[in-house]
Each structure stands twice: as structure tokens, then as C-alpha cells.
Structure 1
Amino acid sequence: MPIQYHDQVSLLKDILSEHQSECCGTVAECEQLERVSKSLMANSNTDQNVKGVLENIYYYGQSGKNSSSLDNHIESHNNQLSQWIQDIDSYS
């Protein structure tokens, strides 16, 4: 059973917030970011303004899971993580 739009947004923000605050994460979390952001981009209820943010999150997850040092990858995107969370909050 697929999770609802609001739950997907919450999950996305939770993972991004954890990455930002802990500066570490897992490959599974990056894969989850990819799946959820892709699903939200395909959802007709998603605000057009947030789709660009979701695309950035998708690529962040994709490059993170393929990174040789996931912690460094997360750390190097710390400013973007907080911006993405703010953007998602403002459009959802």
C-alpha cells in the first residue's frame, strides 16, 4: 500500500533533517530519498514550485548512494539540506 502524499513529505523532511543534524546517513536512506522524491514529482498534487527542489533531492540521494564517503557527501550538502527543508515547508 503506497504512503499518502503528506506522509511522503514528512518522510522526506525527516531524512533530510536527520542528515543535516547528524551529518551522516545510510545508503538505504539515500535510496529512500530517491524513491520518495520521484514519487512526489510524479504526483499531480505536488506544487510545481517544489518539483525542482525534489529533483535536486533525487540527485542528492542518487549521488549519495554512489559516493565513496557518504558522510562527506552529506556534510558538503549541509546548507542545501536546510534550504530544501525550508522550501518543502513553504510549498506543502
Structure 2
Amino acid sequence: MPLSYQDQVNLLTDILSNQQTDCCGSVAECEQVERLVKSLMVNTNLDNNVKPVLQEIYQYSQNGKYSSDLDEHILSNQENLNNWVDNIGQFS
């Protein structure tokens, strides 16, 4: 059973919030974020103002997936994570 749009937004928010709070994460989380963002981006009802935020999140997860120090990558993106979680909250 596929996740609804709202479920996808909630899951994305949860993962990013956990990374922000814990200052750590896993490659599997980065891959999950990529899949969620891709799925959200193809939604035809998506507000065009949201797409740049999702593209930033996708790039963050790509960089994290290939980072030699994922925890440092997450730590260095704390402000971005905070902004993204806030932005996602506005369109969910």
C-alpha cells in the first residue's frame, strides 16, 4: 500500500527532525529521504514554491549518502534542517 502525500510529508519531517535533534543519521535514512523527495516532486498538486526546498533536501541527502563523515555533514547542516522542517510544516 503506497503512502499518502501526507504520510510522505510526515515521514520526511520525522527523519529530518531526528537528524536535527540527534546530530546523526544513517545512509539508509539518506536513501529514504531521496525516495520521499522524488515521490513528492512528481505530485501534480505540489505547490511550485515547495519544489526548491525539496531540491535542497534531495541535494543534502545525496551529499550525506556519499559523505565520509555523515554525522559531521548533519551537524554542519543544522540550520538548514531547522529551516526545512519549518518549511515542510507550512505545506503539509
TM-score class normalised by the smaller sequence: over 0.9
- What is the distance in 1 between the residues matched to 2:47 and 2:26? 28
Identical pairs, percent: 58
Q: Map residues 13-28 of structure 1 onto 2, 5 A cutoff.
A: 13-28=13-28
Counterpart of 1:48 in 2: which secondary structure? coil
Partner of residue 37, structure 1 = 37
Q: Which of the two has greater helix per residue? A: 1
Q: How large is the RMSD of aligned CA atoms in angstroms?
A: 0.7
Secondary structure of residue in 2 paired with 1:56: helix
Moved over 2 A (4+): none
Q: Between the two structures, name the one with larger relative contact order (CA 8 Å, sep ≥ 6).
A: 2
Q: Secondary structure at the residue paired with 1:12? A: helix
Residue segments in structure 2 that go unaligned for 5+ positions in a row: none
Output the TM-score relative to the length of structure 2: 0.96
Distance apart, 1:61 and its partner CA: 0.6
Output the amino acid matched with 1:7.
Answer: D
5 Å matches for 1:1-92?
A: 1-92=1-92
